[in-house]
């Protein structure tokens, strides 16, 4: 995990429920990881959509309807 000076502030607003993720609060790493996997970070989803742990684009579109 990178040393991010913004991590404490980012964690206050992080809505991801996967608490053991090593990228929590390090948004640039989180976005890069999900982008490389063809996914969308959990913070873009509604609370219910995020809890599904399905980060696919298709699930994101369903979640926004």
DSSP state of 63: H
How open is the CA angle 47-49-55, to the nearest 5 degrees? 125
Residue 47 has pLDDT above 60, yes or no: yes
Q: Specify the 3-state DSSP secondary structure of 6.
A: coil
> What pLDDT, on a 0 to 100 scale, did the predictor assign at position 29?
94
* pLDDT at position 19: 84
The residues spanned by each domain of the chain are: 21-64
pLDDT digits (tens, 9 = 90+) for 1-27: 568 999 999 999 888 888 888 999 999
pLDDT of residue 2: 65
């Amino acid at each position: 995990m990178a040393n991010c000076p913004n991590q404490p502030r980012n964690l206050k607003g992080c809505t991801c429920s996967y608490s053991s993720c090593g990228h929590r609060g390090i948004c640039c790493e989180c976005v890069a990881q999900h982008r490389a996997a063809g996914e969308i970070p959990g913070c873009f989803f509604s609370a219910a959509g995020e809890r599904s742990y399905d980060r696919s684009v298709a699930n994101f579109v369903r979640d926004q309807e």
